[in-house]
Amino acid sequence: MVNHIVMWNFKAELSGQEKQEAASRIKRELEAVKEQVPGVVSLSVVTDGLPSGNKDIGLISVFESVEALHNYQVHPAHVAAGQYVGSVTEGRCCLDYEA
């Protein structure tokens, strides 16, 4: 299994309402990709982290293999969602690892 964890902060210029709307859209769009790409074991977007964290939104996902992760990353639905995510976030960090 391959774990793929990504976290972002929203751009500082977004209002609180814009951040809430962006979080909902990111969650909806990324979680929809799960049903479209073979090899996704689990995928969830966390939008309600605790105040002790230093990131606003996170993606926690598990794939059957490195190949499945790659297929997810290049899938048109993921690419489209990623373009939106990039337009409203900054400070992306990512950790991929095999378990």
pLDDT band at 4 (very low <50, low <70, confident <90, very high): very high
Q: Count the neighbouring beta carbons within 10 Å of the beta carbon of residue 52.
A: 5
SS3 64: coil
pTM (whole model) above 0.85: yes
Q: Quick one: pLDDT at residue 1?
A: 97
